[in-house]
Amino acid sequence: YSPLGITFLIAAKIVEMRDFGVLLGKVGLYFITVLCGLAVHGACILPALYFLCVRKNPYKFIAGIFQAMATAFGTSSSSATLPVTLHCLEHNCGVDPRVSSFVIPVGATINMDGTALYEAVAALFIAQVNNLSMDFGQIVTISITATAASIGAAGVPQAGLVTMVIVLSAVGLPTDDITLILVVDWFLDRFRTMINVEGDSLGAGIVYHLSKQELAAVEKEGEEGVLTPFTGIDDKKPNGTDSAAITAV
């Protein structure tokens, strides 16, 4: 019954508006702004960070996780996309399973950069709809609060709407106006989930690149220190003579 409930929430807000056409235009601009922000972040900023750290073509890496990003778009859930993301990283991008199995589940919980961007833009949109001007301090507060709130957001569809209340309350904006963005949130949620998955995957690629030497050292130590049934038994007696041969029963 959620579509029916959302319909009545939006209808109640529309009835209160004097000029619905102007509001609809503002919602359209908000929709385009969020999409542009997510596009810049996903196509420029995240690949640039990957290139600076790894010095490899980031778009080739992104092509390897295309299936995971498509799944994220379809499910609107980074948690539901976890198996596909792990498969793409390990089989298409060559990321060590020890790295991907740690970074991706953690990233799906706390690394919600797409959600943080969306919540910051949504808060500014609600402020403009109410003809409230935000000073520099309030904008910084929105940015910090949106980042912190996104860390606690669940990896399920439209979880950002729940944490939006925290962001709006931090700067004294009316939380009732969240209904203004409900009409487009279901679609924007798919794009910000894609960015969340992309950020997690590129982060796993960066961690794998930076930890290659440590992983190789661990493998070498494991090969040299393989435990045997006689590990810890000295080969020499205290006087330097060979110990008695030990025979397996």
Domain extent listing, the chain: 2-213
Which pLDDT band holds residue 247 (cuts at 50, 70, 90)? very low
The secondary structure of 198-240 as a DSSP string is HHHHHHHHHHHHHTHHHHHHHHHHHHHT---TTTT--SB-TTS
Which pLDDT band holds residue 36 (cuts at 50, 70, 90)? very high
Average pLDDT estimate for 70-88? 93
Burial track 220-238 (b if 16+ CB lie within 10 A, e otherwise): eeeeeeeeeeeeeeeeeee
Contacts of 87 (CB under 8 A, 6+ apart): 67, 68
pLDDT digits (tens, 9 = 90+) for 68-78: 999 999 998 88
- Does 17 or 131 have the greater pLDDT score? 131
CA distance 47 to 198: 10
Average pLDDT estimate for 180-190? 87
Q: Is a pLDDT exceeding 60 seen at residue 226?
A: no
Answer yes or no: are the C-beta atoms of 168 and 175 closer than 8 Å. Answer: yes
180, 164, 183, 182: which is closest to 123 by C-alpha? 164
Torsion angles phi and psi, residue 241, rounded to 5: -80, 155
CA distance 79 to 97: 18
Which of these ranges, 9-23, 32-46, 186-200, has the smallest mean pLDDT? Answer: 9-23
Q: List the structure tokens of 59.
A: 């778009």
The per-residue pLDDT for 127 is: 92
Out of 14-28, 164-178, 193-207, give the one with best mean pLDDT: 193-207
Which of these ranges, 6-15, 43-52, 199-208, has the smallest mean pLDDT? Answer: 6-15
Own/partner pairs, 90-95, CB within 8 angstroms, 24+ separation: 92/64, 92/65, 92/67, 93/61, 93/64, 93/65, 93/201, 93/205, 95/204, 95/205, 95/208
Q: Is a pLDDT exceeding 50 seen at residue 19?
A: yes
Answer yes or no: are the C-beta atoms of 192 and 38 closer than 8 Å. Answer: yes
Q: What is the pTM of this model?
A: 0.81
pLDDT digits (tens, 9 = 90+) for 45-60: 999 999 999 999 999 9
Widest CA span in the chain: 100
Average pLDDT estimate for 192-204? 95
Mean residue pLDDT across the chain: 84
Q: Which CATH number fits domain 2-213: 3.30.420.40, 1.10.3860.10, 2.20.25.90, 3.40.50.970?
A: 1.10.3860.10
